[in-house]
Structures are given as structure tokens and as C-alpha cells.
Structure 1
Amino acid sequence: MSSNSTTANQAPPTSRRGLARVVASSTTGMALEAYDFLLYGSAAALVFNKLFFPAEDPIVGTLLAFLSYALGFFARPIGGLVFGHFGDRIGRKPLLIISLVLMGGATFAIGLLPTYAAIGVWSAIALSALRLIQGFALGGEWGGAMLLVAERVPARRRGAWTSLPEAGIPLGNLIATGVLAVLAATLDDDAFLDWGWRIPFLLSAVLLVVGYWIRSKVEDAPLFVEAHEQAEKAVAEEAPARTVLREHRRELAACASARLTENIVYYVLTAFILVYAVERSGVDKSVVLNALVLANVIQLVATPFFGALSDKLGRRPVLLGGAIGTAVWIWIFFWLLDTGSSPLVFLAMVGGLIFHSALYGPQAAFFAEQFPTRVRYTGMSISAQVTTVIGGAIAPLIAIALLGAFDSSIPVAIYVVTVAVITSIGVGLAKETHRRDLATMHDTAG
């Protein structure tokens, strides 16, 4: 594998209009992903613990709700393997359309579910099943959506271009938290719990229709089409997952370490904060949701900024800056929340998501530069989704458990600092990749 190639930094040409359509397709899919998946996390903290997992102890109900939240993460590696395998074999586009429909359909169905009061335990079972479908679909979305862009653009701008669809994550989260904030401000608690919580889930149909329409008009990158044609003429190859696990273990480790802190800190900031700030620090729910809205607006700009910065400075310096900054800010973050001051709660969220953007902005480009074309979808999906189980699935659970056991934010901060150290070591040991040519990697990959 010519991982050190720096001479041929030109991707196959794509018209400006065609590239804009591709970016819009990937961005819309990522926005739907964030809207669907992170809406569930917010609802787990505010609604599901009461309507689907009732318990005498509020902490127990919340913990059960977050356990159902974690189920989706455990389905993501399976989705990553399935979508990665077929995405490397038959194309990125058809698999991305399937993932979009599964994600949007499952979220819409959640909005129609009867609660525990109506059908008992079957409500929790149905909710968990839909959560598994969400996770399975999302496991294949990120890698493919990023590759639609990464395999079309030159290395010198890859960080900037791939960070645009990555900004779909704060966009989707912004839409979800914005809808929740409007509902929280206009409905009393009884109305919100009775029917208001269903509205944002049903609204996912809008993103689904728009995303499907745009994505259906996008084709796979010429780089992949050429590699696919060459593979069809060659002797049958082994499964992409087996190739990745045998030949690219070092690259998998580099990606996993880069992903770890990004995932954990994101779900601590966007999901656990609703438990910590509202139930422990006494901050009004609408203040927290409005702080999430403002922070995600800023992250819409910060994510592309750090992606573009990684084109100039390299992926490693920006990723390391994000990890070290997170390790420092987490202490300030909890101190600001404990004040109960609305402006300081806003500052806590904004600072946290800015450092998260430094971890996330360069991520798609960094991952794509680790694997040759014939296994790139699989390699990106495995490294991203397996790490997400370790990070996103259990991060809120660990944070809630630590808070319950010690009644203090200090153990939670130590937890975040620990993973930030792991990320710093892993990224520090990785090779710089911001000038690698994806086409040459394909040509000489062994």
C-alpha cells in the first residue's frame, strides 16, 4: 500500500454542480442520522424513562431508558460490516439509500408507538427493536456518506470538503434540539409527556423524503467505479473485512484511537448533560436545550473550520489539539454547569463542542486516507462503529453510574481525561496522512 504517496494529489474531475449535489446528499444523510439517533438520546433522558420504562426510582427509569439507547450502538458494528462489505463490492450509493430509508422509517415509527400504560412491556420491546434498526442502518451510513465526497476531491482540500457533510451532524442535532426546545417552551410538562414528544419523531419523514430525493440523483465516485471494474476482471478476492483485519490492523488502531474521545465526549455533552444539569444542578430544561441549540450553531462553522485547518497543518496536530483541549475543558465544563447560571451553561456547551469539532472535523479525511479503495468502506466502518460501541454506547451509562455512586462530577471528568490520553497516544503514534493520494493507494494496495 502506497500510504506515503504525495505526488499525485488530484482526484478524478467532478463538476462543481455535481460535487455540490454529492455534498448535499451526504450532508442530508448525516443530518438525518444525527436527528434520528440523537433525538432518541434526548428523549431517553426526558421522556422514555417515564413513558416506556417507569420505575419508582427516577434514576432506575433513566438508566433503563439509556440501556435501550445503548442497544442501537451494539447494532452499529453489524451494520458497518454488512454495509461495508456490500458497499465495497457493489457500490456506495445503493447501500446508502437503504440506510437512509431504514433510519428514517424507524424514527417515524417510534413516534407512533403506544406507551407502557397502553400495552405494558411490549411498548419497551417495540421501542428497543426500532432502536436496533436505527443502529444497524447508522452503522453503514457514516463511512459511505464520507466516501461519496472523499473519493472525488484532491488531497489538498480533502479535509475541507469531507468536513462539510460531517457538519450534518450538528445540523441534525440542531434541528432535533431546536424542535425539542420549541416544544418545551410552548407546552407544559403534562402536554409534552402526553403527545408533544411524538412530534419530532414524526417530523423525521421530512428529512427522509428530502434525503432520498437528493441521494437518488448521485452516482458513485469515478475512483470507486474504476477500482470496481478492475476487481471484476481479477481473481475473486476474499471478504473485505478479512482483508482489513489481516492487512490493516495498524490503521484500524489509529482510527479507533482518534474516534474514542470524539464519541465519548459528544454523548456526554449532548445526552448526559440533560441528566446532570436538569436533575442534579437544577438547571431549567429549556435552558439546557437552548444551550445545545447555540452550541450546535457554532459547531456548524467549527467543524468545517477544523477540517480545512487539517489540510494546512495536518490531521495529527488538529486531532491532538482537540484531545488535549477536551481533557482540560471537561473540568471547566462541570464547574460552569454547577453554577446554575444560564450564560455559563451556554459557555460550557459552546466550549465543549468547539473542542469536539477539532476531533471530528478532520476525522473523515483521516479515516479515508488509511485504507485502499477496495476495502475503504469496510475499514472506515469497522474502526468507527466498533469504537462507537465502546464510546457512545456505554459513555452515558458510565457517566450516570459514576454520578450515582459518587454524587460528584469529578469521576466523570477523570473518565473523559483518561480516554483523551488514549486518543493522544494513538494519534501521536500514527503517520501523517493529509497529502496521501487515494487513487495511488488503490493502485498499489496489496
Structure 2
Amino acid sequence: MRRVAVLQVLLMVSATMLCYLPAASADGAETVIGANVTWADDQTVEGTVRIVSGGHLTVNGADATVSDGSSIIVEEGGALTLNHAGLLADNPPTAIASMGYWDESNRSKFMVPGEGIEGAFEVTMMAMNDDSYFGDGAHIDGKVINLNGSSHTFSFEAEAGDVWIGLTGFSSTSVTVASITIEVENGGSTTILGTDLESVNMKTAGDPGFSIQVDGTLSSVDSTVSGGQMTIGGSMSADDSSFDRLGPVLLGSDATIDLRGVTAFSGSLDDHDVRGGPGSTIYWGDDVSGSGGLIDRWERRVSGQSIQLDAKYVILSVSGIGPSEAIQEIFSDENGTALVDGGRERVVEIGYSDGTVWTEAATIDVITYVTSWNPESSGIGNYGGGPMPLTWDQSIQLNSGTPNIEWESLEIVGDE
């Protein structure tokens, strides 16, 4: 009996050590969590942490620093809880990029902190790696400066103070700022990363550092997530939490995100903080704040949408497509399939940064739906019925008014 008891203790200790292993080794091995595990001390995550069904990892009052290229995967039935904790990229993105607008009211810009500098000074602006300023422009006090190469140096006279530099890209492309270096007359210099600059209508740019895939549940209370690309296929809730240089959070079609308290987003890597699908559930509390400016709170998108008909070459008019509320004529192919907006992904809902919400309200009109059963000479008119709403369903069946034709009996005539 004593040998059995000792063996049981050894097995329990081994299982506990396996579950509490804080990080995968540098060779890329996984840490698999299949029980209740708590990290109460600061951790470094390297490789993959996988929380399987029945597993629950709680980071409690500690920071978990995630190395580049690492990942955290929460499988269906698994759970990750951040409680007064931090989930931090070891190297979060530090560059910023313009939003592509040319008009002055929406133009992206950043401020050079020149107040307090004595004498003249120069500012060298550096693009992200592999980026070029070819064809881009800088706007200072109403003047346009043509840019080129991977850097540009501006010269300012004494007592210039704080200087705002607006940016416009070639053909509305983004202009990136990895850093600026301020050099003063006495030879001193200071380098400031892009994300540390005061800016307006600029988004974060660069590699997010790591990934988080949640098909189970993620709960965050008074915690911070910095960097990382987050994809939610299950559910995510956040209360009084901060998400810095993270967005957009990508939601699956049936995923849920519940944002409450004074939860805040900042420095999204796109023009929205959350991206949902047609069936995603998005709750944005009254005191929750987004990155602001031209960065929307959320977008909802639909892709690969089609209308199914019982005939080929049916011509339809679809009105009110996307934020521009465009009108398109489409037709069914040999299989009776008509692609909405060519099947491309489109935005069907926007939660703007000011709290207003735009929702697509597109309609389908039949222009020509003629078959052998309703030729123009028949006087029956087009099949398909009157105008109908374009829902967010992946496939829409347009069959109003079409005849229901079926065999009632089959009689063979003749000997053969």
C-alpha cells in the first residue's frame, strides 16, 4: 500500500509540474494546459501555450511577456483569465502610419516637440524598414515638401516651438514614421519612436509580435494587453481593461465580444478596433473608449455573398451596397448564382468613434427574370417579386413567384 501511495504522489507531482510549466522551450515545444493553472509571478512566454478543453489559465497580478512569433491558443472548452494582469508583447509595434486622407480636416499628422529647444534644430524622419517616401508629401504651415528615400530631414529656426507635420501618401497610400531624431545646435540629439509621438489620425504600424486565438473564453478584468493579434472564435469579455496596439480584434461569424467599464483601446493597427462578421455579437459599453479620430470602434464585414436563382442570366439591381451605398447591376451565371459586389468582402456596419452607427440597408430589385415558363409574351411578368432586403446571409434564395414544377405521373408510350 505504501508503494502505491508513493507512486500516486509522484504522478500527482509530475502532472502539477507539467501544468504549471510557465513557458515553452526555445525549440518551439508547446506548453499544454489541461487543468486549473495560475500564474501569480511574472512569466516569459516562448513558443506556444495551448489551453485545451477543461483547462483554465489565470494570470493573477502578474505580467506575462510574450516573445516574438509566440502564440497563445485557447481551444473550445478552454479558458484564459487576466486578473489585474498584463499580457505584453516583448517587442510591440512602435511605428505609426497615415490614414490616406488628403483633405486638411482628416489629414494625418504628428507633432515635433520643439518647445523649449534653444537655437535652430533639425528633425530626421525615418520610414519603417523597406518603406520609401517616394511620391509622399509633408505639410508644414501650409507648405508642401516633397519626400523621397527612406528618410527626410527638416530644418527649423530658433524658437520654432512645437511643429505639426502633416503627411499625405502617393495615391492615398500610407506614410510611415518609425521614429524621428531631433538634433540641436550644440550637437545633442534625441530619438523618439513613432508611437511615442503625439499624433492625430494616425494608426500604429509594424509586426504585432505574437498571436492569440480564442475558440473558448477570454476574460479580462483591470488588465492590459499590449501588442499581439487577437482572433476570437468563442467569447471575450473585458471590464476596466486596456488594449494597446492590438486592434483590430478579429471576431468569427458566431463570436461574442462584451466590453464594459472603462475599457479602452489605443493605437489600433487598422482604421477600426474590432472587426466582426455577420453573426458576431458586439457589446460596447457606454464608458468604453476606442482609439478615436478616424479609427472606428468596430466594423462588421460580409464576404462571398451570393443570390441563388432558378435560371441563368437573370439581371438584378442591388442598391445601397457598402458605406458608399453604391448601386450595381449583377446577373446570374450558368448555375443561377449571382455574386453580390463580385463576392468581395464589404463593410455592412460601422460603429464610428463618435458613438453613431451606420448599418447597410441594401435592397434587391429584379430587372429581368424570364424563363420558358414566363416568356415576355405570357404577360406573367418577372419572377422574383418586388424589392426585397439584401440580408447578411451568405446565400440568399430569390424564388418569390417562381412556379413549383414536379412530376405527378410518368406514362411510357410505345413498345420501346
TM-score (norm: length of structure 2):
0.18
Higher strand proportion (structure 1 or 2):
2
User: Relative contact order, CA 8 A, sep 6+: which one is greater?
Assistant: 1
Higher helix proportion (structure 1 or 2):
1
Higher Cα Rg, which structure:
2
TM-score (norm: length of structure 1):
0.17
